[in-house]
């Protein structure tokens, strides 16, 4: 057997795309949906009536802003670090509350998309000029390496929008463990978790009749075409969503409607698809209290407080690091 030549990739996007499309079954990573176009599409998704997650979390924050801000506050001030900040619409509810109460804080929004961060920074200058804002571009996992450096005062780590739902339970425990390792006793993690519910309500959230979610999912193919010289025909792929109520896992796929070949010039890669062969693009995990407490326990955290919407479709949890009973 001949040795395969080593391939040099010019970006993580190129490498991950190559690996995913060479794999069986094929997959692509959902984080790469979020380029400039993907950001705009996701903002449209959050405004859809079917996409209940945003409105539920918005209501939780609006109804409980005072209690949440009081829980965050510290006489020495706090570092409010948000992973996956997005457009910051929900976070602004808490920022306004903290400004109104004259709490001392620095807001550090972190996102993979520099475009989104630029827009967020500009909007905060106009809407909440009193807030101290320091944007940072990067992935969750790169950011986690730096979290422990914020140790001069209390830090509160925000993860809104049930972003943890894009991880398997094993990956979620690893993610939470890394956060826990960067936390001290006074620090907090405030995180949103979408809850298990009527399966049809979940399916409708990811397969809207207007086709916005379909366009969002297919943006992976559009981005491969524009940045890596691919010749995908997005119309020859079907957007498909599944939900398993036993595991609480919603999964998104792109399914080839026919046998076809795709060439990606910058990867020197030819990809063959059988008719009805799939590309797995995203998971969106759903939870209940017992699963969240199990994840926290495995990661060295404990749940301190829970905030839910009126129907408990969605919940935000405050976590602290578990203390060593020997100390």
CA distance linking residue 322 with residue 38, whole number of Å: 38
What CATH number has the domain bearing residue 79? Answer: 3.40.50.150
Q: Do the strands 136-137 and 78-83 form a parallel or antiparallel pair, or are they unpaired?
A: unpaired
Collapsed DSSP state (helix, strand, coil) of residue 7:
coil
CA distance linking residue 229 with residue 84, whole number of Å: 28
**Do residues 59 and 82 share a domain?**
yes
**Do residues 299 and 275 share a domain?**
no
**Do residues 69 and 107 share a domain?**
yes
Total domains in the chain come to 2
**Quick one: tokens of 200?**
């049809």
Q: Which residues pair with 287 in a beta bridge?
A: 195
- 107: containing domain: 52-195+287-321
User: For residue 324, what pLDDT is reported?
Assistant: 63
User: For residue 140, what pLDDT is reported?
Assistant: 67
1 occurs within a structural domain: no
Determine what percent of the chain falls in helix, strand and coil, rounding each to the nearest 5. 40, 25, 30
Q: What is the pTM of this model?
A: 0.88
**Do residues 165 and 295 share a domain?**
yes
**Do residues 115 and 257 share a domain?**
no
**Do residues 126 and 215 share a domain?**
no
User: For residue 4, what pLDDT is reported?
Assistant: 52
pLDDT under 50: residue ranges of the chain = 1-2, 325-327
Q: Rounded to a whole number, what is the largest CA-CA distance in the chain?
A: 69
User: For residue 327, what pLDDT is reported?
Assistant: 40
């Amino acid at each position: 057997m001949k040795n395969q030549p080593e391939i040099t990739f010019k970006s993580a996007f190129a490498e991950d795309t190559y690996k995913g499309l060479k794999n069986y079954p094929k997959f692509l990573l959902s984080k790469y949906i979020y380029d400039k176009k993907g950001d705009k599409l996701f903002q449209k998704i959050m405004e859809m009536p079917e996409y209940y997650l945003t409105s539920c979390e918005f209501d939780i924050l609006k109804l409980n802003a005072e209690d949440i801000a009081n829980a965050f506050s510290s006489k020495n001030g706090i570092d409010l670090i948000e992973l996956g900040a997005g457009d910051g619409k929900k976070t602004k509810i808490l920022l306004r509350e903290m400004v109104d109460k004259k709490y001392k804080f620095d807001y550090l929004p972190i996102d993979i998309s520099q475009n989104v961060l630029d827009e967020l920074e500009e909007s905060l200058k106009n809407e909440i000029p009193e807030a101290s804002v320091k944007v940072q571009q990067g992935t969750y996992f790169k950011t986690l390496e730096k979290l422990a450096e914020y140790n001069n005062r209390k830090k509160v780590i925000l993860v809104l929008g049930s972003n943890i739902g894009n991880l398997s339970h094993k990956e979620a425990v690893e993610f939470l463990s890394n956060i826990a390792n960067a936390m001290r006793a006074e620090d907090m993690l405030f995180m949103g978790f979408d809850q298990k519910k009527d399966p049809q309500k979940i399916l409708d959230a990811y397969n809207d009749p207007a086709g916005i979610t379909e366009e969002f999912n297919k943006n992976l193919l559009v981005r491969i075409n524009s940045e890596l010289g691919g010749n995908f025909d997005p119309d020859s792929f079907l957007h498909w969503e599944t939900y398993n109520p036993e595991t609480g896992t919603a999964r998104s796929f792109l399914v080839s409607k026919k046998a076809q070949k795709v060439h990606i010039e910058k990867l020197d890669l030819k990809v063959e698809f059988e008719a009805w062969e799939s590309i797995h693009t995203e998971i969106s995990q759903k939870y209940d209290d017992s699963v969240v407490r199990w994840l926290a326990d495995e990661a060295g955290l404990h749940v301190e407080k829970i905030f839910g919407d009126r129907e408990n479709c969605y919940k935000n949890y405050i976590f602290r690091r578990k203390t060593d009973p020997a100390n």
